[in-house]
Amino acid sequence: NLNRQFLFRKADVGRNKAQVAAERVLEFFKRTKGEANITAIPKRVDAASKNQFDEIIASSDCVFSCLDNVAARRFVDGLCLEHCKPLIDTGTLGARGSVQVVLPHLTETYSDAADPEDAEDPIALCTLKQHPYRADHVVLWAKECFEEQFTRRPERLRRFLAAYGDAGSVRRYFRGRALSEALEALEDVRLLLSGVKSCTAWARSLFEELFVHRIEALKLAHPKDSVDENDEPYWTGSRIWPREVDTEFPAAQDFIAAAARLRRMSLFPDSASEEDQILEPLISNDNENVIAALELEVARLVNRKSTLSGTTSLSFEKDDDEHLAFVTTGANVRAAIFGIP
C-alpha cells in the first residue's frame, strides 16, 4: 500500500509499524495544535496476544479496524462481539474501498459479511521470498523465478542491445542505472559469445544463487537463536529454519537441466545441442570496470555479426512441459529446503 499511505518513510524501514504510525499521527495533531493520547502496541493481532487485546477492547467505547489481513479482522471482530463493542471496519482492495459498521447482536458481523471470494488473503511478498510454509508458496515463487529469468530478463537484454550504437552508447544506457543491471547484461552478452555450450554452467550458477547463497544470506540475517522485535524467538510458528542443499541434492540436477533447456530456448532457439562450460565469474563491484568490460564484449558480439532476431522472451504456459519442469523442480527444491510436504 506504499502508493497511498502517508505514515511511513524510507528511514522507518526495519522499525515496528505500530510505533511509527503512533509517532506520525501525533505529529499530525501537533501541527494542527490538537491533542491526542496514542499508545502503540507492537504485537501481532492474533490469538497469541488475546489477553492484551481483551483488556483494550473491553475498555473501549468503539473499535476502528484498519487491519491488512482477513485473519486479524476476524479476530478483532470476534473480540468485539464477545465484549459487545461496536466495530467500524475499513479496508481497500485495489481501487475499491469498504466501510462496515458492526453493532453486536444487532447487525451482521464482519465474519458473517465477508465475501467468500475475497476471504483469501493475497500472499505477502516476504512470505514468498523468505518464509514459505505452504505448497502454493513455493509454486508461486518458482513461477515468479521463471518469469524473471525467461520473460523479463531476455526482454531487458533485447532493449539494451537494440539501443547499442557505439561504445559510448553503453555508458549512456547504464548511466543512473543499478550496477546489477550492467552485471546482468555483461553475463548475458558473454553467454551469447560462448554459445549454447555455456547454458548448463549458467543454470548451475542460477541454482547456487537461488538455493544456496540466498539461503545462506537468510540464515546470516536471522541466526537460529535470534529474536524478533518483540523479543520472541524469530524462528517459530510459520517461520521454518531452512536446511542446506547443494548441486548434489537429488532434485538439483533436474532443476539445472530444466533451467539450461529454457535458457537455450530463450537465447539459442535454433540450437538443440548441449555442452558444459565454466563461465568466467563476475566478481567486480567497480561500476567503471563492468561498463568497460561490457563495451568490449558487445563490440565482439557486433564484430561476429551475431543477431538477437531469434532471441525469445518466454511467456509461461501451464501446458508446456518444459515450462512446467522448471516450476515443478524449483518448487520441489524449495519445499525440501523449508520442510514443506
pLDDT in tens, 295-313: 888 888 777 655 545 567 8
What was the pLDDT predicted at 85? 95
What was the pLDDT predicted at 306? 52
The three grid cell numbers given for residue 173, joined into one nine-digit string: 544506457
Range 99-118 average pLDDT:
78
What was the pLDDT predicted at 200? 92
Which of 189-193, 199-203, 324-328 comes out lowest in average pLDDT? 189-193
What was the pLDDT predicted at 80? 94
What was the pLDDT predicted at 119? 45
Q: Which amino acid is at 297?
A: E
Residue 114: is its pLDDT beyond 70? no
Range 116-124 average pLDDT:
57
What was the pLDDT predicted at 120? 52
Residue 279: is its pLDDT beyond 70? no
What was the pLDDT predicted at 4? 63
The C-alpha angle with vertex 122 and arms to 120 and 128, in degrees rounded to 5, equals: 130
Residue 278: is its pLDDT beyond 80? no
CB neighbours (10 Å) of residue 335? 20
Question: What pTM was computed for the model?
Answer: 0.63
The C-alpha angle with vertex 195 and arms to 190 and 197, in degrees rounded to 5, equals: 115
Residue range 128-176, pLDDT digits in tens: 889 999 999 999 999 999 999 999 999 888 888 888 777 688 888 888 8
Residue range 203-244, pLDDT digits in tens: 999 999 999 999 999 999 999 999 988 888 999 888 999 999
Percent of the chain clearing pLDDT 90 (strictly above): 38
What was the pLDDT predicted at 274? 46
Question: Cα separations (Å) of 155 from 77, 91, 132, 190, 313?
Answer: 47, 37, 29, 16, 6
* Ramachandran bin of 332, using left for φ above 0, alpha for ψ from -120 to 50, beta for the remaining angles: alpha
Instruction: Strand 87-93: give its sheet, edge to edge.
Output: 63-65, 87-93, 96-102
CB neighbours (10 Å) of residue 79? 19
Our measurement of the distance from residue 222's CA atom to the centroid of its chain's CA atoms, rounded to an integer in Å, reads 17
> What integer best gives the mean pLDDT of the chain?
84
Residue 49: is its pLDDT beyond 70? yes
What was the pLDDT predicted at 178? 83
What was the pLDDT predicted at 125? 79
Residue 118: is its pLDDT beyond 50? no
What was the pLDDT predicted at 123? 76
The C-alpha angle with vertex 163 and arms to 158 and 164, in degrees rounded to 5, equals: 100
